[in-house]
Amino acid sequence: MGSLRRDLERIYDGLARQLFTWALAVTRCRSLAEHAVHDAFHRLLSLKEAPANLKVYVFGSVRNGAVDLIRKTSRTVALTDDYIFDTSPGPREAAETDEFKHRVAECLTETISR
């Protein structure tokens, strides 16, 4: 058991950034990626014996943990005002924004050409 723990510590020390990036690619969420790596190592520490290729097994465990977290979080979508109501600008607001941008650009062009 001590040997497995030392091997896992070495893998974590050498590959923590890659493991996090691997989980981040799956979850697209920093906190979920951190959680996936943490959970994977927590589970790995309870193994009875080391797999043949521990490094590959660790990456697989992190990926599986990330996928599991996505499944869990996708079931619990929080309903916010943005989710319930359409908050995108209407035609009037879009036109006003475009007009404002146009005027700012004109003023900047005038100022630069002086």
On whether both 48 and 24 belong to a single domain, the answer is yes
Provide the mean pLDDT of the chain: 85
DSSP string, the chain: -HHHHHHHHHHHHHHHHHHHHHHHHHH--HHHHHHHHHHHHHHHTT-SS--SSHHHHHHHHHHHHHHHHHHHHHHS----HHHHS--S--HHHHHHHHHHHHHHHHHHHHHHH-
On whether both 41 and 65 belong to a single domain, the answer is yes
On whether both 72 and 41 belong to a single domain, the answer is yes
Q: Are 41 and 7 in contact (CB under 8 A)?
A: no
pLDDT tens digits for range 51-106 = 999 999 999 999 999 999 998 887 655 555 555 556 667 778 877 888 888 888 88
Range of the domain at 69: 1-77
Instruction: Tell whether the model's pLDDT for residue 17 goes beyond 70.
Output: yes
Instruction: Tell whether the model's pLDDT for residue 13 goes beyond 80.
Output: yes
On whether both 46 and 73 belong to a single domain, the answer is yes
Q: Are 19 and 37 in contact (CB under 8 A)?
A: yes
On whether both 7 and 43 belong to a single domain, the answer is yes
Domain of 10, CATH number, reads 1.10.1740
Q: How far is CA 74 from CA 19, 24, 63, 68, 70, in A?
A: 22, 16, 17, 10, 6
pLDDT value of residue 69: 92
Structurally, how many domains does the chain consist of? 2
Determine what percent of the chain is predicted with pLDDT higher than 90. Answer: 53
